[in-house]
Each structure stands twice: as C-alpha cells, then as structure tokens.
Amino acid sequence: NLGVTLMGLGRHDEAEASYRQALQIKPDYAEVHSNLGAALMEMGRPGEAEASYRRALQINPEYADVHNNLGAALQKMGHIVEAEPSYRRAIQIKPDHANAHLNLGNVLVDLGRPGEAEARYRQALQIKPDYADAHHNLGTTLQNMDRLDEAEASYRRALQIKPEYHEALSNLGGLLKGLHRLDEAEASYRRALQIKPDYAEAHNNLGSALIYLGRLDEAEASYRRALQIKPDYAEA
C-alpha cells in the first residue's frame, strides 16, 4: 500500500523499493509483482517489467490486467507480434477490458491490419463510450483509411471528452490541412501548442499550414522552433 501511494505521488524509485520489500516478506504476491512491473515501466525499464509481469502470471495465470500490461511492455520493446496474444488473452479472461481492446487495436495498426484495429477501437467504445484515447486512435485509423469525415468526427468526440488533448488537436489539424481548411488547421495547431508549447510535431505541422497560407516567414519560424525542441527532426 505504501508503494501504491508512492506511485500516486510520482516517486517511482521509492515505490519500487517498497514493492521489493513486500516481495521479500511474501514472494508469491501476484499483485505486488504486477505493481512492481508498473513502476518499472514508468521508469523506462520494460525488460525488467516484463519479468515482473511474467512472475505474476506464474502465480495467477488468469490475471487479465497483467496480460494486458505484459502486452504493453512487449510493445514498448518493439516485440509487436508477441504483444498481440497477450492482449487477446486479457480479453479472453475479461471481455469488457476496454484498455486491452484499445491496446490490441494499436498493435493491429502496427501490424498493418487497420480494419481489425477499427473493430477493436469500436469495441472499446462500446464498453466505455467516453474513452478519449479510443476515439482519437479510431480517428487516426480512419484518417489513414481515407475516411476523413468519420475521422474528423472521432477527433472532435475525443476533444469533447478531453479538451486539452494536444495529440488530437494536432492530428485534427493535419486532417483539416488535407481538406484545405487551412484557417481551421492553423487554429487547431495553435491550440495544441497553447497546451504543449514544446510539441515539436505541431510546430512542424503549423509550418506546413502556414506555407499553404503564403506566410513563409512565420512558417520558417515554426520550423526553427520545431528544430530547437528536436534538433534531429529530419522532416522539419
């Protein structure tokens, strides 16, 4: 419980120490192995997190959240093919696991199966209609499938639920730019940058919109700002 509290306070290294102490006392405590995995993920150590999740599943093979979290650790390490069955197992155990449906959708996008991904995002939204991430990711998938009206609706729904969603604002801007609604695209990018001023991708995309609007000095400034934030940004 102390570990959980420390995680909530963002003190991940202290949480790790507390979880490890709990496991010295009770080595077969599946929930603590799971929580330790979550702490390790927050600290950017997905390989160690994977080991913790696998230990939790040795103790409790029917632990749906851990199958889902194991999938996330594998995905983080680029093991996309291995992540898919972990998410599917989580859903098999707990069919209404909205986050597992979302994560499986993300993997299916990476595997080049957008139609299946769309179905997973829609399943997540049946379970949890106000799931902003699922609306957003559905929007990006529909956009990549050239179903632009549906994609715009998904982005706007995500933003109704979560108005400060800077990725959705930036992606909506890209869609609007593609539809030559340049003033709206500019406004969407600028709103994203109000929320996250160091968002290099939005500065770059704003630059592209400004070029189309014939405002080249401002476009140059946007590209230079993107490169200040992310010097190795080849596109910028």
pLDDT tens digits, one per residue of 12-23? 999 999 999 999
The DSSP line for 124-141 is HHHH-TT-HHHHHHHHHH
Residues in the chain: 236
Q: Is 108 helix (H, G, I), strand (E, B) or coil?
A: helix
Burial of 157 (0-12, 13-18, 19+ CB in 10 A): buried
Residue 112 corresponds to which amino acid? G
- Rounded to an integer, the average pLDDT of 146-158 is 97
Average pLDDT, the chain: 97
Asked if residues 34 and 65 have their Cβ atoms less than 8 Å apart, the reply is yes
- Rounded to an integer, the average pLDDT of 63-70 is 98
Angle (CA) 91-161-186 rounded to 5° is 120
Q: Looking at residue 171, what is its pLDDT?
A: 96
Q: Any idea what DSSP says for residue 63?
A: -
Q: Looking at residue 225, what is its pLDDT?
A: 97
Q: Looking at residue 129, what is its pLDDT?
A: 98
Kindly state the tokens that stand for 16.
């790790």
Of the pLDDT bands very low, low, confident and very high (cuts 50, 70, 90), residue 199 is: very high
Q: What is the per-residue burial (b if ≥16 Cβ within 10 Å, else e) of 177-213? A: beeebbebbbbbbebbbeeeeebbbbbbbbbbbbbee
Prediction pTM value:
0.91
The DSSP line for 150-214 is HHHHHHHHHHHH-TT-HHHHHHHHHHHHHTT-HHHHHHHHHHHHHH-TT-HHHHHHHHHHHHHTT
The percent of residues in the chain predicted with pLDDT above 90, rounded, is 100
Q: Looking at residue 121, what is its pLDDT?
A: 98
